Homo-oligomer: A and B are copies of this chain.
Amino acid sequence: MLDASLVKEALKKSKVKSEQFKDLEYLRFTDDYKNIPRGTVIFQEFTIFGYPHIGRIFQLSTGLREQFTEPFWVEEKVDGYNLRIFYHKGEVYALTRSGLICAFSTDRVLDFIDKRFFEDNPDLVLCAEMAGPENPYVEESPPYVKEDVRLFVFDIMRKNESTFLPQREKLELIEKYSLPSVEVFGRFTVDQVEKIKDLLRKLDQECREGVVFKEDSERNKRVKYITRYANLNDIRITSLNIMGLPADYYTNRLLRLALFIEEEGLEKDDSLYTELGKAFLEGIFQACKLSREEGKVYRTFRCRFHSKENLLIFLEQIKHSSAHIQIIERGIRQEGNMYVLEFDKVFLNMTGLLGHVLRGGSVFD
Contacts and interface: CB of A to CB of B under 8 A. Distances in A.
A361 interface: yes
A196 to B, nearest CB: 13
A62 B359 contact: yes
Interface string A320-361: 000000000000000000000000000000000110011111
B275 A254 contact: no
Nearest to A272: B277
Interface string A193-223: 0000000000000000000000000000001
Interface in A231-274: 239, 242-243, 245-248, 250-252, 254-255, 257-259, 261-262, 268, 270, 272-274
Contacts of A247: 246-248, 251
B277 A273 contact: yes
Interface in A270-326: 270, 272-278, 280-281, 284-285, 288
A65 interface: yes
A268 B274 CA distance: 11
- Most chain-B Cβ atoms within 10 A of its Cβ — which of A248, A255, A354? A255
Contacts of A281: 254, 257-258, 261, 268, 272-273, 276
Chain A contact residues (Cβ within 8 angstroms of B): what range? 35 or more
Nearest to A222: B362
A259 B64 contact: no
A167 interface: no
A253 to B, nearest CB: 10
Contacts of A277: 272-278
A187 interface: no
Contact of A254 (B64, B280, B361): B280
A262 B64 CA distance: 46
A365 interface: yes
A248 B180 CA distance: 40
Interface stretch (A53-61, A123-131, A136-144, A148-156): A53-61
Nearest to A68: B360
11 contacts: A56-B364, A56-B365, A59-B357, A61-B360, A242-B255, A245-B251, A255-B284, A255-B357, A262-B285, A262-B288, A274-B277
